[in-house]
Structure formats: C-alpha cells, structure tokens
Amino acid sequence: MKKELNMHLGSLINEEKTVLNYLKSKYPLFHRSNVFFRDIQFGIKHYLENKEIKLTYTESEILANEFIKYLISKGILKKISDQIFLLNYPDFNPQKKLVTNS
C-alpha cells in the first residue's frame, strides 16, 4: 500500500468511532445489521473528501478493504461474504433502554 494511503488508514483507525458515526449518519447501520462493502467504501471516500482528501475509486476500495480487516480484528465486523458483513456494535443498538422509577 502506498505511504499516503497508509497514512489515511492510520487516520481512519485513530478516528474509528467518528468514522463509524459518520457511516451511521449516511447509511442504515444498526447493531447486528448487515453492512455492505460499497457502503463502507463510499462512506470512507466521502468522509475523507469532507477533510479535503481526494481519493480515486481504487484508492477508496483499498482503504475500505484495510479498514474492514481492522474492524474484523476488533470484532466490530464479522464477514458473511466478500461484500457483506455483520455489524457487532452495541452503541448502535436501536432499542433504547427505558428507565423506570419504581
């Protein structure tokens, strides 16, 4: 991987929660939902474009693959197929816990 792409990958990893929240704001991401490779790829591409970093299609594909590998290693994603992953991220659980005063 090119040095510049490796630097961008490091930024994505360091900003993991911010990146995941950005992806959630653009795509329907929920705990235990399917996530598609292209959603991650284009989400990363747009996330970096918002930071004035332009990527080619191929570069965004490489970064998405590497970021997905990282998320799999942390247990945040589980590979279902080459294009589909299961999101294991309880922070994105759509069910809100109700607080009762009993």
pLDDT tens for 56-73 read: 999 999 999 999 999 999
Structure confidence at residue 96 (pLDDT): 59
Q: Mean of the pLDDT values across residues 85-91?
A: 94
Question: Predicted confidence band at 95 (pLDDT cuts at 50, 70, 90)?
Answer: confident
Residue 47 makes CB contacts below 8 A (sequence gap 6+) with 12, 19, 22, 23
CA distance 73 to 100: 37
pLDDT tens for each residue of 9-31: 999 999 999 999 999 999 889 99
pLDDT on residue 101: 58
Say yes or no: domain 3-90 is CATH 1.20.1270: no
Ranges of each domain in the chain: 3-90
Report how far residue 54's alpha carbon sits from residue 50's, in angstroms, rounded to the nearest whole number: 9
